[in-house]
Structure 1
Amino acid sequence: MTDANDSHDIPSAGTSTSEEAAADAKKVSSEIYDLIGIKGKASNTGAGVTECSGKDREKYFQIFHPWSFTPASADQLGGVMERLKEELPKHGWKVVDYGPDNSKQKNVNLTADNDEKKYSVKIVHFAKDNPPSLSLMVVSGCYQVPDGEKVERF
């Protein structure tokens, strides 16, 4: 699930309307928010719809939900990525990538897949930003709309 451009790696997420799938993505984001476990503010961004590579864009879609988290106090994010690396597997997630990126800042990245929920999340810790924050991208597997329906794009 980690590479949205390779349709062979994207699992089927079942049948759903775009609206229902977007609501599911927000629930998954909310569960991850709870695992962050510190006081702060999450951005209020909506979910979006994208096509499933190589499939009929009128019948198949993925949901993506980008959001960010800024702690109430700048020093609170210390250790959060290590905690998420430990906590996510206890909630059905498999950490598939973890470590600093190649940027000058060496931002810590965590990518995890939840095979049961058919979701993937990528979390980036921007420790050196002012204020420090987390950037999250929750992405679904590939949904098919119910018969007679079309993919709603938003």
Structure 2
Amino acid sequence: MWALPIVGLIALATVWVSMEESGSGSGAASMSRQQNRAKDVLGYEPEVQAVPKAEGEVNGISSRVLDWMGVRGQVTEPSAAAHVCRKVDPDFETYYVVNHPWSVFELKKGTFDEAMDNLRRTLPDKGWKITKDGPMDTKAASPEIIAVQPDSHHTLTVQWLNSGKSGRTELISVDVDSRCFRVPEGTELNRS
């Protein structure tokens, strides 16, 4: 009388154990292993956030940085975009970072020197920690400011590329980056 249910339970347990060992277990178990691996590799647990929200945050930071510079000129057009979080998801399926490289050039108001000085004063007042303020490690040794926002962990790299060579445009290059995020469950990230 009990033989059939016990045999059935043993068969079910055997299938479950072999699925777990082969890595084809339940979606929740697989997701948990992936999250633990990401946390181990990155040193933090990536926050779950929809891509448009994360891109909007980075665009907002870029806009504020331009305001803090206190200059007016031509600004490159591209917006922030999600990219591969290479350390944990080279296939761009679940984890991503947001990056926004842009620059300001052909100033109509202010100078590049003023822009860098304004950032040196304003970034700490706005909660950013400047981790580098000095020459780039290049032959030109152009000025560079690198800062991190301790609460959101966004990073900011600002470089004044003042080559002094004829035919080259003087500009300030800005790069705003996020940490790795994880998309909400059920979201497809891999965009072609």
TM-score calculated relative to the size of structure 1? 0.83
Asked if structure 1 preserves the Cα contact closer than 8 Å seen for 2:72 and 2:109, the reply is no
Larger radius of gyration: 2
Moved over 4 A (4+): none
Asked if structure 2 preserves the Cα contact closer than 8 Å seen for 1:17 and 1:151, the reply is no
TM-score calculated relative to the size of structure 2? 0.68
Counterpart residue number, 2:141: 106
Structure 1 residue 12 displacement after superposition: 5.2
Where structure 2 has 5 or more consecutive residues not aligned to the other structure, the ranges are 1-40
Structural RMSD (CA) = 2.3
Asked if structure 2 preserves the Cα contact closer than 8 Å seen for 1:71 and 1:77, the reply is no
Structure 1 residue 49 displacement after superposition: 2.0
Q: Which moved more, 1:115-124 or 1:50-59?
A: 50-59
Structure with more strand by fraction: 1
Distance between the aligned counterparts of 1:107 and 1:14, measured in 2?
Answer: 35
Structure 1 residue 90 displacement after superposition: 0.5
Counterpart residue number, 1:119: 154
State the aligned residue count. 147
Mapping for residues 5-154 of structure 1, pairs under 5 Å: 8=42, 14-56=47-89, 57-73=92-108, 76-129=111-164, 130-151=168-189, 153=191
Distance between the aligned counterparts of 1:18 and 1:132, measured in 2?
Answer: 33
Query: What percentage of residue pairs aligned between the two structures are identical?
Result: 23
